Amino acid sequence: MTPTLIWILVALVAIGLYLSWTAGRLDRLHARIDATRAGLDAQLLRRASVAQELATSGVLDPAASIVLYEAAHAARQAEEEQREVAESDLSQALRAVFAEPAQVEAVREAPGGEAAAHELTEAVRRVPMARRFHNDAVGAARRLRQHRKVRWFRLAGHAPFPMAYEMDDEPPAALVDRAP
C-alpha cells in the first residue's frame, strides 16, 4: 500500500466517523423532541383537566363555568391540526375568567378551593415551561438539519422536519400574582 492510499483511507474513516457522530446527535435531538412533546402534551392535558374540573365544581358563576368548560373541552377533544388554536382559546378563557383577583379569592374560599386554585396555578405555570423546552429542542434540531452535511448525506433520514408549538400560553395575572 502506498502512503497516499493509507492517508485517503484514514481521511475516509475520519469523515465516516464524523458523519456517524452527527447522525447520532441528530437522532438524539429527535428523541429529545419526542420526549419534550410528550411532556408538553401531559401539561396541556393537565391544565385542561383542572380547568374542566373547576368549571364543573359549582364554585364559579354559571357564565364563567360555561366559558371555561367549553374551552377546556375543546382543548381536550381537538384534532392535532387544531390543537394549538384550541389551547390558545383555553388560555384566553382562563385569563377572562380569572382576570380579577376576586374570582381567585372566591375559588380559594370554597370548600376544596384552595387545593383547586393551587393545582390550576401550577398547571398554568408549567405549560409555558414545557412549551419552551419543546421549542428549544426543535430549534436545536432545525439548526443542525440546516447544515449542508446533513442535507447532502441525508443524515436526518425520513424523520419529519420538526415544528415548534406556537400557542398563547400567558397565564392569568390573578393566578400568578397570588401564587404561594
pLDDT band at residue 1, thresholds of 50, 70 and 90?
A: confident
- pLDDT higher than 90, residue 56: yes
Tally of residues, the chain: 180
Question: Per-residue b/e over 143-176, b at no fewer than 16 CB within 10 Å?
Answer: ebbeeeebeeeebbeeeeebeebebebebbebbe
pLDDT at 23 exceeding the cut of 80: yes
Average pLDDT value for residue range 71-96: 96
Confidence tier at 112 by pLDDT (50, 70, 90): confident
Q: What percent of the chain has pLDDT over 90?
A: 80
- Give 126-163 pLDDT, tens digit per residue: 999 999 999 999 999 999 999 999 999 999 988 999 99
pLDDT single digits (tens) 96-109: 999 988 889 988 99
Tens digits of residue pLDDT in 11-22: 999 999 999 999
Quick count: other Cβ atoms within 10 Å of Cβ 70? 15
Contacts by 57-64 with C-beta closer than 8 Å and gap 24+?
Answer: 57/110, 57/112, 57/116, 59/106, 59/107, 59/110, 59/113, 59/116, 60/97, 60/103, 60/106, 60/107, 64/97, 64/103
pTM: 0.90
